[in-house]
Structure 1
Amino acid sequence: MLDYRYQTFLALTEEMNYTATAKRLHITQPAVTQHIQYLQQELGVELIRYENRQLTLTAKGIQLQKDLYLLQREITKVQKQLASTIEHTTLTFGASLTIGEYMMPDFIESYLNQYPTHDISMVTDNTRHLIELLEHGKIDFALVEGEFNQSIFEFQKIAEEPFIAVCSEKCSLWKQDQSINDLFSTTILVREEGSGSRLIFETAIKNKGIHLDSFSKVMTIGSIGAIKRLVGKNVGITFVYQKAVEEELKNGILKKIPLSDFSVIHPFYLIYLKRIQLKEMETIEKFLRLIE
């Protein structure tokens, strides 16, 4: 177990409020203050700063928070291993929505066929949240399509996938070659902010001097499945990884819109923190060997 004062610090970094932290930990507010003051004096650094009536973490505070999350994760693993009579491996990772839904089932099947005694725990979420989970030590690695800080994470490219425009088979846009500018009068469906695929799309059009607002109507939908169904009903068009619409293209429900001036092929990455335990690295390498 972490020292109770470090537990108080972690709770405060999540609540960013002394009263809420005290209530959460069932201690008094002065006790929270005393715990933080003790840590700052013991470590000889400022961890929490109060400015403009708002709490903020210092650079040292952010570093300590990340280190404690990782340490807490290792402590939990040790406790589980000691409590268990059988030694087993758990593959704990995250995948962005496109990868998780359309690529991972085959990978997981291959992994379990080779390592049938291993457990698997996969979180499916957008890239931004997966990075937070990695930094907090909640998952061992993540498979993402979005951008990430390469100074913090080690990474391996696992695939490259075309990013295409699609419409309903009832729409006439797929019937002839055109420019992306010809699509501005159309409703476009996009994922929520924080999604890797949305960031890829916005970056691609920004490089052409185009903003999302150039389209007559923008609808934000947080589900790939819902977007595909709406596009199939001819509500609008979307830009999506080809892997995510393979079945719909094959069945003719959706059609690829041929664009003369838009061609994007984006890599998918497996990322993990540079500070990682040897045992976890061995598990990641086993997984990588299966998908290479």
Structure 2
Amino acid sequence: MLDQLYLTFLVLSRTHSYTKTAEQLYISQPAVTQQIQRLEEKLGLKLVYYHRPNLKITQIGEELADFLQRTNVQSQQLLERLQTPNKFREINFSTTRSLSEFLAPQLIEEIAARDAFRKISCHVGNTEQALTAVRTGKSQFALVEGNFDKNKFGYKIIRSEPFIAVVSGHHVLTQYRSLTWSDLVKTPLLVREEGSGSREILASLARAENVSLSDFEHLIVISEPLLIRRLLLGGVGISFLYRSLVEEQLKNKQLVELSMLDNGQTAHDLYLIYAKDSYFKEDYEEWVDVLK
């Protein structure tokens, strides 16, 4: 339900092309240029600049485009709910890879048990991708861990989850009663990719003890927690994971939680986040009670 000027800018922010924007909106290219100029004059803001051969969106323009995308998605959701109040609803959310293994299944099971929901879409990625999906309106909400700008999102804490050092039950490190970070640097470290909340938490823990991930002689970067778990079971190195990811393996002693003298074990908050000031805030926060 955006007016024409804002709609044109929103499409331009996606295409980065006056020609493609004109094609999508079925108007002429000069009309697109004129509408963008009118919007900039109306707002008193510079939204785009052209540096041949590329059109760029300014930082202010990117922020406006994100807001327009969220507003457009929410207005469509609200309109559909008002027009067809008895229609089955759709749930579209994102989750980080770590939380996809123990929180997301719990949520999907709960949603699926309710007759009111016709379609459930779950998108799995890292924390950075989940935040982007919510910011741009591609996901209604997301399950995330790690740090994010709390001024830019609405959020609720689901629970606090232990983040622990783990090795195979047969690993030589299990012979030590307690360890420091310096004791670990010669052991291969299994770590998530850049953009992962788990990696950010691990890097922060290491920095607190004046250790960098680059100090490890062998760094193995893996995007999938499942593969990390399999490698740990095979005796390959050490990793830091949420306890819920390895609960079963810890119980049967296939994996062992290491005791750290330094700041190696801590609990971290898990969050459900959504667009700031979302009209559907109460709907999303309902799922927090389910996940607790």
3-state DSSP of counterpart to 1:165: strand
Map of 2:157 onto structure 1: 157
Would the alpha carbon gap of residues 63 and 179 (structure 1) be closer, same or farther in structure 2, given more than 3 Å must change? closer
Q: 1:270 aligns with which of 266, 269, 272?
A: 272
Map of 1:213 onto structure 2: 214
Which shows bigger deviation, 139-148 or 89-98? 89-98
Q: CA deviation at 1:128?
A: 0.8
Which shows bigger deviation, 56-65 or 183-192? 56-65
Map of 1:170 onto structure 2: 170
1:91·1:283 contact (CA, 8 Å) conserved in 2?
A: no
Q: CA deviation at 1:22?
A: 6.0
Please give the residue correspondences for 1:239-278 in structure 2 after superposition, counting only pairs within 5 Å: 239-261=240-262, 262-277=264-279
Would the alpha carbon gap of residues 24 and 181 (structure 1) be closer, same or farther in structure 2, given more than 3 Å must change? farther
Would the alpha carbon gap of residues 243 and 32 (structure 1) be closer, same or farther in structure 2, given more than 3 Å must change? same
Would the alpha carbon gap of residues 20 and 172 (structure 1) be closer, same or farther in structure 2, given more than 3 Å must change? farther
1:154·1:274 contact (CA, 8 Å) conserved in 2?
A: yes
Q: CA deviation at 1:108?
A: 3.2
Map of 2:232 onto structure 1: 231
Q: CA deviation at 1:4?
A: 5.4
Aligned length: 289
Please give the residue correspondences for 1:1-292 in structure 2 after superposition, counting only pairs within 5 Å: 2-3=2-3, 5-18=5-18, 30=30, 32-50=32-50, 55-77=55-77, 80-81=80-81, 86-113=86-113, 115-119=114-118, 120-176=120-176, 177-261=178-262, 262-277=264-279, 280-292=280-292
User: How far apart, in 2, do the equivalents of 1:128 and 1:21 lie?
Assistant: 28
1:203-242 superposed Cα distances (whole Å, 9 cap, x missing partner): 1111111110110011111101111112222222211111
User: How far apart, in 1, do the equivalents of 2:259 and 2:23 lie?
Assistant: 58
User: Which letter maps to 1:265?
Assistant: A
User: How far apart, in 2, do the equivalents of 1:92 and 1:251 lie?
Assistant: 36
User: How many percent identity over aligned positions?
Assistant: 35
User: How far apart, in 2, do the equivalents of 1:212 and 1:144 lie?
Assistant: 22
3-state DSSP of counterpart to 1:216: coil
Structure 2: 5+ residue stretches without partners: none
Q: CA deviation at 1:24?
A: 6.8
TM-score, normalised via structure 1 length: 0.86
User: How far apart, in 1, do the equivalents of 2:153 and 2:78 lie?
Assistant: 24
Structure 1: 5+ residue stretches without partners: none
2:95·2:124 contact (CA, 8 Å) conserved in 1?
A: yes
Q: CA deviation at 1:37?
A: 2.1
- What do you get for the CA RMSD once the two structures are aligned? 2.8
1:106-163 superposed Cα distances (whole Å, 9 cap, x missing partner): 23334444x3322433222211111111111122222211111111222221111111
TM-score, normalised via structure 2 length: 0.86
3-state DSSP of counterpart to 2:98: helix
User: Which letter maps to 2:187?
Assistant: T
